[in-house]
């Protein structure tokens, strides 16, 4: 477990309140305005050059978006935080703002599909040298860092097999080589894992997942060292991937219950994982909270909870998956994750649909794998649902 946890319940409600309470609103208003008017031209100028606080144009800053950023800044324990239209906008803007021709990036192979595309397709096009390493071969990752590393990019736990990467160990080596350490903390959220305390310089999120938590708004977050976040903000202002005020409101509303939700996700997922692991139609279960998980020790050290994501392989082939999914009553067969309701999907038709069977095998993804994003339902209903679903295959 990491440092003493922040009081997330209180922070999520109050961290941004003082700065935004001019009208004494108890609930934040949604500022749809594109621009903000000034009677005094000198004041307008001062706001434009950042000499005094205020907003000019919503592609840059907005009075509903900023409180979300201040709240995430507090939850992450960061110097600065900015938001984006989606998680991929956060990731791509960050990488393109910090990496240029001749630079070298080191990353793990098991990043989110879209992130992987940036490393394989778009960064090399900009003459960025990319080394993608086996996610759990920490010695190989360290060896690549020693060859040169402007950016070390990690994601943990990973999708879909919940590998756990040792952030503190790899950050230490990256810093010896002046690398900037970025961690995608989407699966864990600050409640379960705080990469900045473990040595990362920047942490990114798809806010579309747990931070919003209700499958009804998209967004991205970047928190960390102020000088780095400011560089990415400068890029985002021009690139234009700003978060809309309405989505910011939805995510901020979701954050108010983040701690409650994550605790329930953690409890439910642990019970579902323990149930599935004993089931004779289940070949294997991937969940960092199980003692037999390959990196359970690292997970215990760097996480305060093991999260709501798990995956399991059925005995047999993909046909078993096709039989199981329609039989489940309490889960949407849908992409995405981190929602209050349970979401289920096979990586073969979602995140890893573009890979061949051989490529999936090389990544350790069985054809019969089911990814299960455990919701906050009453867990006895999920267990009964899985029992009857599995009985029918």
- Residue of 184, 201, 304, 385 marked catalytic: 184
Q: How many residues does the chain have?
A: 393
What angle is formed at CA 235 by the lines to CA 89 and CA 197, rounded to 5 degrees? 70
**In the complex with ligand PLP, which residue's Cβ is closer, 251 or 282?**
251
* Shortest Å, Cβ 238 to ligand PLP: 20
Q: Please say if 117 is a catalytic residue.
A: no
Cβ closest to ligand PLP, residue 71 vs residue 186 = 186
Q: Where does residue 185 rank: exposed (0-12), middle (13-18), buried (19+ CB within 10 A)?
A: buried
Helix, strand, or coil (residue 245): helix
Is the CB of 196 or the CB of 211 nearer to ligand PLP?
Answer: 211
Smallest separation, CB 191 to ligand PLP (Å): 16
3-state SS string for 174-192: HHHCCCEEEEECCCCHHHH
Could you say which of 46, 57, 59, 281 is catalytic? 59
Provide, rounded to whole angstroms, the least separation between the CB of residue 253 and ligand PLP: 17
CB 214 within 8 A of CB 339: yes
- Strand-pairing partners, residue 129, are 104
Are residues 188 and 167 in contact, defined by beta-carbon separation less than 8 angstroms? no
DSSP state, 104? E
Closest separation in Å from C-beta 269 to ligand PLP: 16
Other Cβ atoms less than 10 A from the Cβ of 107: the count is: 25
Q: Which residue is nearest to ligand PLP (CB)?
A: 87
Concerning whether 112 is annotated as a catalytic residue, the answer is: yes
As measured in angstroms, the least distance from the Cβ of 97 to ligand PLP is 17
Give least dist CB 82 to ligand PLP, A.
15
CB-nearer residue toward ligand PLP: 112 or 249: 112
Binding site for ligand PLP (CB under 6 A): 86-88, 112, 114, 155, 159, 184, 186-187, 206, 208-209, 218, 220
Q: Which residue number, 181 or 390, has a Cβ lying nearer to ligand PLP? A: 181
**Alpha helices, DSSP H only, in the chain?**
8-14, 17-20, 41-48, 65-76, 87-98, 113-117, 123-125, 138-146, 167-176, 189-192, 226-239, 245-255, 258-277, 296-302, 318-324, 357-362, 379-391
Nearer to ligand PLP, 209 or 264 (CB): 209
Instruction: Please confirm, yes or no, whether 184 is among the known catalytic residues.
Output: yes
Active-site residue 205, yes or no? no
Torsion-angle region of 336 (φ positive above 0: left; ψ -120 to 50: alpha; else: beta): left
3-class DSSP state of 271: helix
Phi, psi of 339 (to 5 degrees): -100, 160
Q: What is the dihedral of CA 139, 142, 144, 147, to 10 degrees?
A: -130
SS3 66: helix
CB of 279 to ligand PLP, least distance (A): 26
C-beta closer to ligand PLP: residue 61 or 116: 116
Active site residues: 59, 112, 184, 209
């Amino acid at each position: 477990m990491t440092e003493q946890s922040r009081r997330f319940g209180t922070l999520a409600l109050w961290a941004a309140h003082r700065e935004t309470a001019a009208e004494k609103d108890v609930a934040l208003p949604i500022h749809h305005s594109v621009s903000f008017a000034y009677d005094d031209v000198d004041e307008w100028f001062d706001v434009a050059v950042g000499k005094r606080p205020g907003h000019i144009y919503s592609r840059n800053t907005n009075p509903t978006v900023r409180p979300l950023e201040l709240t995430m800044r507090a939850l992450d324990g960061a110097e600065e935080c900015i938001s984006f239209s989606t998680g991929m906008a956060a990731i791509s803007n960050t990488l393109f703002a910090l990496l240029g021709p001749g630079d070298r990036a080191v990353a793990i192979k098991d990043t989110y599909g879209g992130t992987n595309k940036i490393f394989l397709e778009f960064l090399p096009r900009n003459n960025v040298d990319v080394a993608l390493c086996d996610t759990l071969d920490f010695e190989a990752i360290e060896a690549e860092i020693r060859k040169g590393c402007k950016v070390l990019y990690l994601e943990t736990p990973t999708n879909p097999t919940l590998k756990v990467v040792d952030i503190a160990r790899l950050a230490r080596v990256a810093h010896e080589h002046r690398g900037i350490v970025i961690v995608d903390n989407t699966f864990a959220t600050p409640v379960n894992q705080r990469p900045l305390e473990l040595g990362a310089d920047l942490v990114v999120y798809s806010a579309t997942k747990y931070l919003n938590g209700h499958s009804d708004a998209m967004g991205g977050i970047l928190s960390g060292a102020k000088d780095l976040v400011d560089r990415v903000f400068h890029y985002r202002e021009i690139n234009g991937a700003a978060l809309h005020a309405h989505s910011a409101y939805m995510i901020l509303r979701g954050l108010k219950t983040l701690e409650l939700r994550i605790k329930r996700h953690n409890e439910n997922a642990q019970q579902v994982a323990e149930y599935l692991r004993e089931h004779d139609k289940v070949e294997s279960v991937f969940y960092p909270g199980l003692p037999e998980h390959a990196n359970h020790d690292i997970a215990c050290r760097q996480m305060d909870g093991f999260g709501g994501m798990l995956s399991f392989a059925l005995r047999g082939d993909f046909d078993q998956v096709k039989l199981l999914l329609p039989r489940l009553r309490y889960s949407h067969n849908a992409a995405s994750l981190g929602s209050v309701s349970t979401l289920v999907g096979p990586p073969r038709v979602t995140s890893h649909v573009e890979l061949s069977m051989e490529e999936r095998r090389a990544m350790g993804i069985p054809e019969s794998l089911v990814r299960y994003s455990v919701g906050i339902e009453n867990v006895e209903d999920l267990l009964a649902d899985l029992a009857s679903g599995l009985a029918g295959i």
